[in-house]
Structure 1
């Protein structure tokens, strides 16, 4: 098998390739997470297709997997790449039995709807052919190959739709609500349907109830790796007893030493136990197993940043940047990677220009996230790029129209830019009224009252008021006493 093969090192876990349209990425995230919870990694382009990898080779690798999970939507049925993956898989003799189809908001059971897709591909094929008729075939060989592929899809789409309508399908909504029970029962990985039982336990809302039920299952099947995995997973997210989570993960990894997901969770547990060396060493082992896994690089970069900042570990932010940049190359559309990279540049290296570039990239990829705006506005204001700061504030307000942090950034901008100092002071007062527990607002406002108006009395009164409504009394009291001495 080539590098895209996803056969798990545990023999009882199938390899699964997911074929889907990027328009459905968020829903596919839910599917991937459900499979992860039962210890199965899905081969997916955003995880397994690396920078400069060959896309056709990746698509052909679908044949080397035990199953192909299809996320069938309107976008899927109009995607050349998706249907090419399906065509590749259909070359297997038993491909019907190895398909795991899920449909979402698409009516393939109505003949009129099916005809629309047949016409879509027929028109697409005819359009390409008409364009090629006016070109020199010696100069358009690649385009001719594409046209042949489109023509093949056009000829095959009717049979594919008929295959689906003849099959008992399940909707994404029903799958998600049942924690994908139907799929795991079909896979029949464990005779006792342990995966289905774990998914039922996972659907419970009460964490204590989950732990009690998984303990019962563990007593019944003490040698089952999947139960041990989920038991350790629950302890990891609970955080009340990280030492117990550590013991469980180490037990699991003795049986499955190259499970990178388990190594990732154990690294997370070590961080909670304030053992940074063990956390980094454990995640490094995962990277030795999968050196091109961009998710692992992202986690390593985030981990190195946190342990360097919180534990003075090695005092080397450059390594964090290295791993996060590698993650960004592996998945250039992941907004969170660029946000975390901005955090390292800002908090670790005080490299404001680099941080700003990362925050702006993160905003471009996902404009409805708060913190990149906050940091960007602060940097632009500090660097006196007031026009850019004002534009960023307006953009942020379009997504967060009455957000405390955005309003505070705006008030600071109005004062620092001297655009309207009085309005800035008034806005700070409005924030203290609307968000009375925002103790940093009181401190900022008191600072400006002293600096701009020499008004010690109002600043002291403001801080005394803050002491009555927030928990951070020691911090405020220290600042208050300092103001009284200055006065």
Structure 2
């Protein structure tokens, strides 16, 4: 896997994931390469290797919540980041209010939480007579202890970082974050056949009245342009309402049909075709015409 420019570390679910979906769309729209676990890890991907790769990233947006600070996977990612040089320079934290970094009692509570997690795992392991049977769990205990030892330092660094609130980032369309990341990783330039685009077409909003679209050709274009993962990413950026209806186990064909149905109901075929041509002009030409 090619090392992407920007990694995002966050806890799944709730407001944190909603925020990350919007952040991901903005970063992609600004032509950053973004690595997000639910998009890039893939079915049966190695979670530990993914987290270690994230830890080596040159720019990592870390979306901190109470759930994040109590998640073994999230905190393992944070420890992996901290193991490498220039920790403070490589992380771009965004802190939700429920992770109260500015209160020493709240930060102490996270230390106590991980002390208890270590104790509970230790107690469970004592009930196993043959320690050879739990070698992998012993490794997890090592990782829990690494988290415990790092919590105080990491939360203190976060406390002293002016991270802005999620609402502030959304209100300014992530302007401050994008500027900060750009200082570390200049964004890619849009290119078409190796040359910078000189003319940008206006993005359409709705379809022309009475235009009849060739759905079979558009369907073929979608199926041949995208892998399942790339289709998820495309819809997350341009058709969030459709992306939100995708479920585990759905095939790429089913997702394409949902997208086509949405475009038909809301007159979005021109908008779809505009972005499909941007995505892959060669494929776009191969399946014309579309109306």
| Equivalences, count | 238
* 1:176 and 2:89 are equivalent in the alignment: no
Residue of 6, 26, 33 corresponding to 1:16: 6
**Any idea what SS the aligned residue of 1:100 has?**
strand
Q: Deviations over 1:323-363 (max 9, x none)?
A: xxxxxxxx9x9439849839969xxxxxxxxxxxxxxxxxx
Note if 1:238 corresponds to 2:205: yes
**Matches of 2:57 and 2:220 in 1, distance apart?**
32
TM-score by length of 1: 0.43
Give 1:275 shift.
8.5
Is contact 1:19–1:68 with CA below 8 Å preserved after alignment? yes
Higher RCO, 1 vs 2 (CA within 8 Å, ≥6 residues apart): 2
Corresponding residue of 1:5:
3
Structure 1 portions without partners, runs of 5+: 7-14, 196-222, 242-270, 301-330, 346-487
TM-score (norm 2): 0.69
- Where does the alignment leave 5 or more consecutive residues of structure 2 unmatched? 189-194, 236-242, 259-291
Change (3 A) 1:4 1:79: farther
Closer, same or farther: CA 33–337 of 1 in aligned 2, 3 Å: farther
1:429-448 alignment runs, 5 A limit: none
Describe the shift of the 1:273–1:236 C-alpha distance in structure 2 as closer, same or farther (beyond 3 A). Answer: farther
* More helix by percentage: 1
1:146 aligns with 2:140: yes
Distance 1:157 1:342, change over 3 A: closer
| Change in 2 beyond 3 A, CA 1:112/1:94 | same
Distance 1:272 1:73 in 2: 48
SS of the residue aligned with 2:93? strand
Larger C-alpha radius of gyration, 1 or 2?
A: 1
1:76·1:82 contact (CA, 8 Å) conserved in 2? yes
Match of residue 341 from structure 1: 254
CA contact (8 A) 1:104 1:173 kept: no
**Distance change (3 Å), C-alpha of 1:194 and 1:272:** farther
Q: Per-residue deviation at 1:237?
A: 4.3
Q: Which residue of 2 aligns with 1:251?
A: none
Q: Does the CA contact (< 8 Å) of 1:72 and 1:102 recur in 2? A: yes
Residues 177 and 298 of structure 1, relative CA distance in 2, 3 Å threshold: closer
Q: Which aligned pairs between 1:93-132 and structure 2 lie closer than 5 A?
A: 93-105=85-97, 106-132=99-125
